[in-house]
Structure 1
Amino acid sequence: MVEAGDCAVCHTKPGGKYLAGGLPLVTPFGTLYTTNITPDIGTGIGNWSYPAFRRAMREGIARDGHYLYPAFPYVHYRRMTDGDISDAYAYLMSGPPVHSPSKQNQMSFPMNIRPLVFFWNLLFLHGNPIAANPDHSQAWNRGRYLVEGAGHCAACHSPLNLLGAEKSGERMAGGVVDGWHAPTLLGMAEGENPWTKDQLVSYLRAEVVVGHGTPAGPMRPVSLGLAKMEVSEVDSIAEYLLSLQGAPSAPSPEKGEPISAAYQKMGADLFQGSCAGCHGDAAPMRQIDGRPALAQTSALTANTSRNFIKTVLEGVPPAPGAPGPTMPAFANSLNNQQLTVLANYLRDQYKPGHAWTDLKTTLQELRPEAK
């Protein structure tokens, strides 16, 4: 349950001790720092009873009575069974204590007043433990439980309202997390580039999937955690996700004028110098299952340029102790003008005539200090 709930994803900062907290979470209301959930008595949850832990998971209230910010997804954890919450508590309490005091949050007014979360809870804290649906298979029900409960997929893959809650009626319809586009989870078995179950299981386990790519950004540590779970659990998640029906897909941007020959030459030169070593047709890595092929990767075919920009700037880190898949970051080697040329060139190559209309504004949002 701790892996399924992504506890380590938020409660372990890069280079930090496991579950000792300290990771900054940037929200529209300020920056939160995740807390220490090791069994350290002074700075962690070592003096928390099980009832106190269960109350935090179900009601978003800490041991001392203060309200937790809903960046902690108790809205979803409350849908877990008592047995699974108890198992998570037992696991956390069995780990090594780490002395790591929490950092002070930097929230703006009025969200720095924690008691106001009481009113947020009145509006948005609903739902009970998930009951099995007899009309579906055991695997589907298990997948639903993991997706809707511990996995809290909707927390990232849903648009949020002005108060930071998931928009009613648009759950799983896609969101934005740390500048990354979290795509819709609706209609994944349909559309221009549908997923198969085997593809989705492999992707969720941090593997490279021809036609879709590999998890990056905030999804990267989530998938590395899922890779530690039983394959049958991930298979159930995939079965449930692929059953979700989607609204009609948003249309691709209107066709624009083709880029000029001179612009193509500039883009091709940048690709040759920065990308072709792995992504070029003659690259050695392309001989391994044809990867990493760009023709159908969602970062290039999506209607937004967000994930292409973020992937190029930040790269894709390998799994700890594993050789790959990996991609270096280019934030220090490509300026905004070069990245714009490269993005337009590759978009024209793989989705010709559908230029990204958000490229300029998104790039300035994600790297405003760059020239």
Structure 2
Amino acid sequence: MQKRLLLGLMAVVVIAAGVFYVLTMPRRLEASEIAADGSGDAARGATVFWAGGCVSCHAPAKSEGEAQLRLGGGAPLVTSFGTFHAPNISTDPADGIGDWSLADFANAMQRGVGPDGTHLYPAFPYTSYARMTKGDVADLFAYMKTLPPVEGRAADNVLSFPFNIRRGVGLWQLAFLDPDPVVALPADASEQVKRGQYLAEGPGHCGECHTPRLYGGAGGLDRTRWLAGAPNPEGEGKVPDITSSETGIGAWSEADIAYYLETGFTPDFDSVGGAMVEVQKNLAKLPAGDREAIAAYLKAVPAP
């Protein structure tokens, strides 16, 4: 009887391990979802680079000028799940991504899978980058190849159990990696609003900070409260509501929002603060039309 029970338990363990293995397998892009090698344009990629906020995590903290383009890894991100260290994404072939192919880069950006098949932690906002076009991904890759190599690897992440089991991120991706748009725009939405949606929900990854998370679901975004404000993931203060609600930026005009993204000044003569300082500096480098498109989209986002 005991032998049968033991064999039964072993069978259950083997089956559970097999199911876990299958469910957590890396899911890479199809070849048709990746742009052709060499098709990227570095000049266009510069705009994608600043929209995507690469500097904020991967450059030295509070860097300015040329130092912003040295992407050896930035300040640690301390969260309730542990401390994350952004990796070196410079062109260094040993410590960075200098020997990556476009396919390697696209799969990391849009599926959260490294070249060696390991899952990337969603502190890297690939759930938003998954909405980018393959052309923009190729353009970004072309631009990043023009940046200087930086030697040195970032420190390892410091995570508690079970978040330190990287393979388990595959389950998280099954639940939360969705490349579809979040907001259902009306059929007659303008091209400007559609452009703003693409920038805000895709490369700009606004929802990653401004949307509350489902902590019971391991930190996925609560789409029912899209952009409605959230606790600061680093534990101090609150990330504001940027919907058109009364508690958000409903009183701001599109021009107010665009001006804030350009200059950092609010309609109330206040100035940008906290982590948004770096974001605003990045967005200030976009074409004016793109900032105006983001403003138009934010005014179109329904209040929760």
User: What TM-score, normalized by structure 2, do the two folds share?
Assistant: 0.76
Tell me the equivalent position of 2:279: 222
Whether the aligned pair in 1 keeps the contact of 2:61 and 2:74 (CA below 8 Å) is: no
Equivalent-residue separation in structure 1 for 2:100 and 2:53 (angstroms): 20
Bigger fraction of residues in helix: 2
Tell me the equivalent position of 1:281: none
Q: Residues 286-343 of structure 1, C-alpha deviation per residue, up to 9 Å, x if partnerless?
A: xxxxxxxxxxxxxxxxxxxxxxxxxxxxxxxxxxxxxxxxxxxxxxxxxxxxxxxxxx
In structure 2, relative to structure 1, the CA distance for the partners of 1:118 and 1:190 (3 Å cut) is closer
> Could you tell me which of 222, 238, 245 is aligned with 1:167?
222
In structure 2, relative to structure 1, the CA distance for the partners of 1:175 and 1:33 (3 Å cut) is same
Q: CA RMSD in A?
A: 2.2
> Could you tell me which of 34, 41, 50 is aligned with 1:3?
50
Equivalent-residue separation in structure 2 for 1:212 and 1:107 (angstroms): 41
Equivalent-residue separation in structure 1 for 2:300 and 2:223 (angstroms): 20
In structure 2, relative to structure 1, the CA distance for the partners of 1:129 and 1:43 (3 Å cut) is farther
Tell me the equivalent position of 1:201: 258
Tell me how many residue pairs correspond in the alignment: 247
In structure 2, relative to structure 1, the CA distance for the partners of 1:118 and 1:196 (3 Å cut) is same
Equivalent-residue separation in structure 2 for 1:146 and 1:128 (angstroms): 14
* Structure 2 residue runs without a partner (length 5+): 1-47
1:147 and 2:194 aligned: no
Tell me the equivalent position of 1:367: none
Whether the aligned pair in 2 keeps the contact of 1:188 and 1:244 (CA below 8 Å) is: no
The structural deviation recorded for 1:229 is: 1.0
**Larger-gyration structure (1/2):** 1
> Could you tell me which of 244, 248, 269 is aligned with 1:187?
244
1:120 and 2:172 aligned: yes
In structure 2, relative to structure 1, the CA distance for the partners of 1:25 and 1:39 (3 Å cut) is same
Equivalent-residue separation in structure 2 for 1:153 and 1:98 (angstroms): 28
1:30 and 2:85 aligned: no
Whether the aligned pair in 1 keeps the contact of 2:60 and 2:73 (CA below 8 Å) is: yes
In structure 2, relative to structure 1, the CA distance for the partners of 1:210 and 1:195 (3 Å cut) is closer
The structural deviation recorded for 1:188 is: 5.1
Tell me the equivalent position of 2:132: 80
Q: Residues 220-261 of structure 1, C-alpha deviation per residue, up to 9 Å, x if partnerless?
A: 0000011111111101100110111213xxxxxxxxxxxxxx
Tell me the equivalent position of 2:41: none
Whether the aligned pair in 2 keeps the contact of 1:189 and 1:196 (CA below 8 Å) is: no
The structural deviation recorded for 1:190 is: 8.3
1:41 and 2:88 aligned: no
Tell me the equivalent position of 1:303: none
In structure 2, relative to structure 1, the CA distance for the partners of 1:39 and 1:203 (3 Å cut) is same
In structure 2, relative to structure 1, the CA distance for the partners of 1:15 and 1:218 (3 Å cut) is closer
Equivalent-residue separation in structure 2 for 1:192 and 1:101 (angstroms): 40
In structure 2, relative to structure 1, the CA distance for the partners of 1:89 and 1:192 (3 Å cut) is closer
* Structure 1 residue runs without a partner (length 5+): 248-371
In structure 2, relative to structure 1, the CA distance for the partners of 1:36 and 1:142 (3 Å cut) is same
Higher-RCO chain (CA-CA 8 Å, sequence separation at least 6): 2
Whether the aligned pair in 1 keeps the contact of 2:88 and 2:96 (CA below 8 Å) is: yes
Where 2:83 maps in the other structure, the secondary structure is: strand
In structure 2, relative to structure 1, the CA distance for the partners of 1:96 and 1:176 (3 Å cut) is same
Amino-acid identity (%): 38
Whether the aligned pair in 2 keeps the contact of 1:205 and 1:227 (CA below 8 Å) is: yes
User: What TM-score, normalized by structure 1, do the two folds share?
Assistant: 0.63
Equivalent-residue separation in structure 1 for 2:203 and 2:78 (angstroms): 22
In structure 2, relative to structure 1, the CA distance for the partners of 1:191 and 1:128 (3 Å cut) is closer
Equivalent-residue separation in structure 2 for 1:107 and 1:206 (angstroms): 37
Where 1:85 maps in the other structure, the secondary structure is: helix
Tell me the equivalent position of 1:213: 270
Equivalent-residue separation in structure 1 for 2:97 and 2:207 (angstroms): 27
Tell me the equivalent position of 1:314: none
Equivalent-residue separation in structure 2 for 1:193 and 1:212 (angstroms): 17
Equivalent-residue separation in structure 2 for 1:9 and 1:133 (angstroms): 33
